[in-house]
């Protein structure tokens, strides 16, 4: 078990604020306001519960299954599920897709919760706790808006809590500016502390990480570059101790520990994570379950009574980016002939299980790879988030979901300079990229450009929900990928540029006549 007990989550349980449909006023009225840190945590707890609810399932699907990093295949009828995964893999979704609808509802429920809390706190007595909590809620609202902006484009900016007027779409550039203003308004009041006490909550550094992501994608979101602004935020994060932090973030020498079941505030790469814990923060962290072959349960201490997915793989050509034998990032993959920890071969009957990276479909229309021992063993599997041997029947894991981490921002700084930004600290893109490659035991680059940086980001960030964002920014989103080994032909060939954003769900259009569908849908 982690050594940390998450204060904000315990406070939610203590004050009974787990029913997200209850208005915040049910706990704190005009006569009763929070005054202590634990009371403020109780008020804000539902927002963190909401963030945890969907980030490691549906949000993951939209950001990963739509890219060359991940494919979810069927075994006969198993995992066909009406073709919803295939639609993401092939870029053929429409406005009725359940995961697209689910993520929209998740983001706007988060936005609504933040608005309720900010309204409830506005009349509370002035205090440092109040100012910091309001800043944290503004930052969390900005994070939910960032998800909506990135995924759906011209999204509505909700009116302040209590205003029942239905909102219309806002231009994507206007949403971008709104998020920026919310973060900048919050920044002076956010903590610069890096510790157990601030883990999982918005800090000064988390807010600048969010700003850096905004600025790096400014050309996509707002039509104009902001790489110099990105470098300003990136330098603050990468040099936290010199900029008022009580310590610094840094690269972790043990790559797999960043994502292990006991990850947490001790991970020095972690800038912002979503805590998961089977007792205090359960439901929704199942990324270690979906890739696992059932005969490999023994290697992770899983009982045979616990089912695993054996359905989530990567496309072979993405797996082949990991060629250097000494690169520790190869440890995220299960591929090739499999063995138990004591050296015994993993046998399925008389077949030595070989996780062949090449996937040959027996029915490409249904993404069916077949049901024989050889067929169900196809596909390299990403187990960056280590399968948790303490799974219970609901298969929830203790791995905290890492959203912002140090190495990502080192590589983003290299990219910002390559794209025209100037670093006042005088670092070069090659120096920055090689910081990451060296600690990962990969051979240093002799030169860096946008093409090999894009590949390096794939190696470093695989399975962390940033590939779609990268592909769009690097101009790779409309490429063909996903070779079917049975034919040698790419599977994903759709080049529709309007699919750089998802459609507004049909139910939202029906309930709000002011909304207009995104172009192309």
Helix, strand, coil shares of the chain, percent, nearest 5, are 45, 10, 45
CA distance 312 to 290: 5
- The 3-state DSSP class for residue 491 equals strand
Distances (CA, A) of 509 to 92, 214, 349: 20, 27, 53
Residue 307, CA distances (Å) to 82, 256, 304 in order: 21, 24, 7
- Count the Cβ atoms, other than its own, within 10 Å of residue 407: 22
Is 146 part of any domain? Answer: yes
The answer to whether 303 touches 262, Cβ cutoff 8 Å, is no
| Gap between the Cα atoms of 378 and 79, Å rounded | 15
The residues near 19 (Cβ < 8 Å, ≥ 6 apart) are none
User: Scanning the structure block, which residue is given the tokens 């963190």?
Assistant: 48
Query: Domain containing 96 — which CATH number?
Result: 1.25.40.390
Q: What is the pLDDT along the chain (521 residues), one digit of tens a residue?
A: 343 334 433 333 333 332 333 344 344 444 567 788 888 888 999 999 999 999 999 999 999 999 999 999 998 888 999 999 999 999 999 999 999 999 999 999 999 999 999 998 988 889 999 999 999 999 999 999 999 999 999 999 998 888 889 999 999 999 999 999 999 999 999 999 999 999 999 999 999 999 999 999 999 999 999 999 999 999 999 999 999 999 999 999 999 999 999 999 999 999 999 999 877 665 778 888 889 999 999 999 988 887 888 999 999 999 999 999 999 999 999 999 999 999 999 999 999 999 999 999 999 999 999 999 999 999 999 999 999 988 766 667 899 999 999 999 999 999 999 999 999 999 999 999 999 999 999 999 999 999 999 999 999 999 999 999 999 999 999 999 999 999 999 999 999 999 999 999 999 999 999 999 999 99
Residue 22 vs residues 16, 19, 120, 128, 343: alpha-carbon distances, Å: 10, 6, 13, 26, 54
Instruction: Strands of 346-448 (E only): list them.
Output: 347-348, 351-352, 354-355, 381-382, 401-405
| Residue 65 falls inside a structural domain | yes
Domain count, the chain: 1
Helices (H) and strands (E) in the chain, counts: 17, 12
What is the span of the domain harbouring residue 74? 7-284+401-511
**174 φ/ψ angles, rounded to the nearest 5 degrees:** -70, -35
Return the half-sphere exposure (C-beta side, CA atoms, 13 A cut-off) of residue 192. Answer: 14
Structural domain contains residue 115: yes
Within a 10 A sphere around the Cβ of 507, how many other Cβ atoms? 13
In a domain, 517, yes or no: no
Query: H or E stretch including 385?
Result: none
pTM score: 0.94
Radius of gyration of the chain (CA): 23
Q: Could you give the count of Cα atoms lying within 13 Å of 389 in the half-sphere of its Cβ?
A: 8
**pLDDT number for residue 393:** 61
- CA 400 to CA 467: how far, in whole Å? 19
C-alpha separations of 13 from 17, 324, 447, 483 in Å: 7, 47, 53, 48
- C-alpha to C-alpha distance for 508 and 512, rounded to whole angstroms: 6
Residue 343 lies in a domain: no
For residue 167, what is the enclosing H or E element?
Answer: none
Asked if residue 293 belongs to a domain, the reply is no
- Kindly state the DSSP code that residue 90 receives in the 8-state scheme: H
Output the pLDDT for position 281.
Answer: 64
In a domain, 367, yes or no: no
Structure tokens at 407: 């190495």
Residue given tokens 């920044």 in the structure block? 187
Which alpha helices (DSSP H) does 122-203 contain, by range? 128-152, 172-186
Question: Which of 171, 234, 191 is CA-nearest to residue 40?
Answer: 191
For residue 182, tell me if it sits in a domain.
Answer: yes
Give the chain's length: 521
| CA count, 13 A, side-chain hemisphere, 482 | 27
């Amino acid at each position: 078990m982690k050594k940390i007990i998450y204060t904000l989550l315990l406070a939610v349980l203590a004050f009974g604020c787990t029913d997200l449909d209850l208005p915040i006023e049910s706990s704190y009225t005009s006569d009763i306001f929070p005054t202590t840190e634990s009371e403020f945590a109780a008020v804000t707890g539902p927002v963190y519960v909401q963030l945890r609810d969907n980030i490691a399932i549906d949000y993951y699907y939209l950001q990963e299954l739509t890219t060359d990093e991940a494919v979810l295949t069927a075994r006969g009828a198993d995992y066909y599920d009406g073709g919803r995964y295939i639609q993401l893999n092939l870029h053929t979704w429409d406005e009725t897709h359940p995961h697209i609808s689910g993520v929209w509802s998740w983001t706007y429920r988060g936005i609504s919760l933040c608005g309720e809390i900010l309204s409830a706190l506005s009349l509370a007595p002035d205090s440092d706790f109040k100012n910091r909590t309001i800043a944290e809620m503004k930052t969390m609202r900005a994070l939910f808006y960032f998800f909506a902006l990135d995924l759906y484009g011209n999204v509505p900016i909700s009116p302040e809590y209590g205003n029942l007027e239905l909102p219309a779409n806002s231009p994507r550039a206007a949403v971008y500016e709104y998020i920026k203003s919310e973060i900048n308004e919050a920044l002076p009041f956010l903590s610069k502390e890096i510790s157990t006490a601030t883990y999982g909550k918005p800090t000064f550094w988390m807010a600048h990480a969010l700003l850096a992501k905004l600025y790096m994608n400014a050309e996509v979101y707002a039509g104009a570059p902001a790489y110099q602004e990105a470098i300003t935020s990136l330098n603050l994060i990468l040099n936290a101790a010199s900029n008022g932090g009580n310590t610094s973030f840094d690269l972790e020498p043990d790559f797999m520990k960043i994502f292990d079941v006991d990850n947490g505030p001790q991970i020095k790469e972690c800038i912002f994570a979503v805590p998961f814990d089977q007792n205090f923060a359960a439901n929704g962290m199942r990324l270690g379950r979906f890739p696992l072959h059932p005969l490999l349960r023994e290697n992770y201490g899983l009982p045979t009574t616990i089912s695993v997915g054996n359905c989530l793989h990567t496309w072979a050509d993405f797996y082949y980016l990991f060629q250097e034998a000494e690169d520790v990032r190869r440890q995220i993959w299960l591929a090739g002939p499999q063995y138990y920890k004591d050296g015994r071969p993993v046998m399925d009957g008389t077949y030595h299980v070989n996780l062949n990276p090449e996937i040959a479909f027996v029915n490409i229309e249904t993404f069916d790879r077949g049901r024989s021992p050889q067929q169900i063993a196809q596909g390299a599997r990403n187990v960056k988030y280590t399968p948790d041997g303490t799974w219970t029947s609901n298969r929830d894991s203790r791995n905290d979901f890492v959203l912002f981490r140090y190495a990502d921002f080192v590589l983003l700084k290299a990219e910002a300079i390559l794209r025209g930004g100037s670093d006042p600290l005088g670092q070069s893109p090659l120096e920055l990229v090689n910081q990451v490659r060296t600690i990962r035991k990969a051979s240093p680059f002799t030169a860096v450009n946008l093409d090999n940086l894009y590949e390096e980001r794939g190696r470093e960030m695989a399975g962390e929900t940033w590939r779609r964002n990268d592909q769009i920014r690097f101009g790779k989103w409309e490429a063909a990928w996903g070779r079917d080994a049975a034919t040698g032909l790419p599977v994903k060939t759709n080049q529709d540029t309007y699919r750089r954003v998802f459609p507004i769900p049909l139910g939202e259009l029906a309930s709000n006549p002011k909304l207009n569908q995104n172009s192309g849908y």
